[in-house]
Amino acid sequence: MLRPANPPRRELSELASRFAREVRGEVTGITLSGITLATADLRAGEAFVAIRGVNRHGAEFSATAAEKGAVAIITDDDGADIAQPAGLPVIIVDDPRAVLGALSAWVYGTGAGEPLPLLFATTGTNGKTSVSHLLEGILDQLGVVTGLSSTAERHIAGEVIVSRLTTPEASEMHALLALMRERDVEAVAVEVSAQALSRHRVDGIRFDVAGFTNLSHDHLDDYADMQEYFEAKLPLFRPDRATRGVVCLDSPNGAIVVERAEVPVVTVGTPSIAADPDAAARADWVVAIDDERASGTTFTMSGPAGTLTTTVPVIGPHMAANAALAIVMLLEGGYEWHRIAAALDRDGGILAHLPGRTQLVSGDTGPVVFVDFGHSPDAFEKTLAAVRRVTPGKVLMLFGADGDRDASKRFDMARTAVEGSDILVVTDHHPRFEDPDSIRATLVAGARAARPDAEIHEFSPPEAAIVAAVGLVGEGDSILWAGPGHQDYRDIRGVRTPYSARELARRALRAAGWPVPDSHWPVPYSDED
């Protein structure tokens, strides 16, 4: 957990008077310097918030918290009884998770009305990470000191930290904002998942601009149905969560977000890829695709402030739509149109690194290989179509599915993958505690049901699958390896095993005699691994 170098000093008695329903023990004369959910992250002088988990109550770790220097336990009634033997003051609240955002905002001074960087939030099924990194990239081009919190990484004024959750827990999020403020960060791009809103991870934060990308089949392991999943995202467009909104109209739910938003909203549309081209064409900002190449997509966006033609350094009209959404969010955040246009013109386009988002990992000759993080049917469909448009030869799709996650989307993933490719290779992804053979069998069955005559292969593990895939294609062909993206591990029975799809792809190309660019994977990965 990242924290400010000069942590706050708050009186525990004031915290108790503001938030406690009941206090056990003496709180007078005690100061605290932070708040955390995890004893592994706890530092002396902080309060430990004990929440009931699936299998155990966090209060069971109160003795550990006391040994590490915690000054208090914040928990519910059940937790209070468990925590009392640890000998620390216990502050009782009805729902510790629900109050965690407000607690953290008060502790770190990061609530609404406090001096903070400009805050941008992006939600949606696909594109959240891309928009967040595009926001940061353009801000960097404007000379702005930036912060970022995405599925892939956290950035603080140039420092890069690998992420653990798409959106951190509220205590970590507020500590991160306090650290960014301390380092003079001027603007922050935050990826906000539906789970982050449902589980109170962004409580206590009011974003200056909230963006919506799209909605498609995903996360039905967390939500009962697509309507409940959609409803989980809508609170981001309330006045207590955001000041303004920017909504993409390319998916049908965009229009519903506009209708139900409780803040002023500006719209963006890309008619060539929209479910309703006419609705997209009536957006405030309209995006037209000019050119698609393996190295990037050129587009023109037109709206109230003017017209701009630029290039985003990844393939696909959906990435141009993401870039336009980011640009309009910056406009709504107060950055001037002429300043943005001048920076992009000066630099020959958008300069942004999108880790694992249709990332080109191959060299100048041989099959073109893209590694992508997409793991939903909609992401497969859009990315395969983009790859197809820049490929003169065959398109090979290589993918697997997450274990212990939304299994209801596996059939549609397999159908979309086989329908959009010439050759399909099914392999493993994160099996977690599921049987990987069973996951692959489901995917293969789904693909064969959709296209009985298709060329379908099954290889395990992924190290063998990418070698086989490279052997099935040649010059002028493309491979899309979907799923692993930027990740540097595989989750196998709860163990995070070092793994890089980017490096494995480069190794397979090199072994086949094709040139590859230098590897920048940070984890040692030798040929003997």
Query: Tell me: the pLDDT tens digits for 81-101?
Result: 999 999 999 999 999 999 999
Please write the tens of the pLDDT for every residue from 228-275. 888 889 999 999 999 999 999 999 999 999 999 999 999 999 999 999
> Predicted confidence band at 203 (pLDDT cuts at 50, 70, 90)?
very high
**496 or 106, which is more confident:** 106
Which of 108, 137, 158 is where one domain is finished? Answer: 108
CATH value at residue 240: 3.40.1190.10
| Locus of tokens 């039905």 | 220
Is residue 446 situated within a structural domain? yes
Shared-domain flag, residues 369 and 265: no
The letter for the amino acid at 86 is A
Is residue 526 situated within a structural domain? no
What confidence score (pLDDT) does residue 111 get?
A: 87
CATH value at residue 427: 3.90.190.20
What confidence score (pLDDT) does residue 159 get?
A: 87
Shared-domain flag, residues 97 and 125: no
For residue 346, give both structure tokens: 């000066």
Is residue 250 situated within a structural domain? yes
Is residue 1 situated within a structural domain? no
Shared-domain flag, residues 93 and 156: no
Q: CA nearest 131: which of 316, 325, 308, 382?
A: 325
Query: How far is it, in rounded angstroms, from Cα 131 to Cα 139?
Result: 12
Return mean pLDDT, the chain: 92
Shared-domain flag, residues 124 and 104: no
Shared-domain flag, residues 23 and 135: no
Name 188's bridge partners.
Answer: 119, 147
Shared-domain flag, residues 177 and 291: yes
Arithmetic mean of pLDDT, 32-42: 93
Please write the tens of the pLDDT for every residue from 414-425. 999 999 999 999
Is residue 352 situated within a structural domain? no
What confidence score (pLDDT) does residue 161 get?
A: 80
Q: CA nearest 36: which of 79, 78, 82, 69?
A: 69
Shared-domain flag, residues 338 and 370: no
Question: Three-class SS of residue 515?
Answer: coil
Shared-domain flag, residues 192 and 277: yes
Shared-domain flag, residues 363 and 503: yes
Is residue 2 situated within a structural domain? no
The letter for the amino acid at 83 is A
Distances from the Cα of 422 to the Cα of 13, 94, 315, 445, 455, angstroms: 66, 56, 19, 17, 7
Query: How far is it, in rounded angstroms, from Cα 486 to Cα 483?
Result: 9
Shared-domain flag, residues 76 and 194: no
Name 457's bridge partners.
Answer: 425
Query: How far is it, in rounded angstroms, from Cα 230 to Cα 146?
Result: 30
Is residue 3 situated within a structural domain? no
For residue 186, the enclosing domain spans 118-347
Arithmetic mean of pLDDT, 369-393: 90
* Residue environment code for 410-430, b if the CB has 16+ CB neighbours within 10 A, otherwise e: bbbbbbbbbbbbbbbbbbbbb
Question: Three-class SS of residue 376?
Answer: coil
Distances from the Cα of 5 to the Cα of 43, 175, 238, angstroms: 13, 10, 33
What confidence score (pLDDT) does residue 217 get?
A: 64
Radius of gyration of the chain (CA): 24
Shared-domain flag, residues 78 and 199: no
Query: How far is it, in rounded angstroms, from Cα 341 to Cα 102?
Result: 39
Please write the tens of the pLDDT for every residue from 207-227. 999 999 998 766 566 777 888
What confidence score (pLDDT) does residue 405 get?
A: 87
Overall domain count for the chain: 3
CATH value at residue 37: 3.40.1390.10
Query: How far is it, in rounded angstroms, from Cα 357 to Cα 44?
Result: 40
Name 396's bridge partners.
Answer: 423, 479
Instruction: Kindly tell me if the per-residue pLDDT of 466 is higher than 60.
Output: yes
Which of 347, 381, 404 is where one domain is finished? Answer: 347
Is residue 313 situated within a structural domain? yes
Helices first, then strands: H and E counts in the chain: 17, 26
Please write the tens of the pLDDT for every residue from 173-194. 999 999 999 999 999 999 999 8
Q: CA nearest 156: which of 171, 142, 169, 173?
A: 173
Handedness of CA 180, 144, 336, 357 (dihedral sign): negative
> Predicted confidence band at 160 (pLDDT cuts at 50, 70, 90)?
confident
Shared-domain flag, residues 306 and 379: no
DSSP string for 260-274: H-SS-EEEEE-TTT-
Asked if 130 and 118 count as a contact pair (C-beta separation under 8 A), the reply is no
Which of 82, 108, 134 is where one domain is finished? Answer: 108
Between the two ends of the chain, the Cα-to-Cα distance in Å is 30
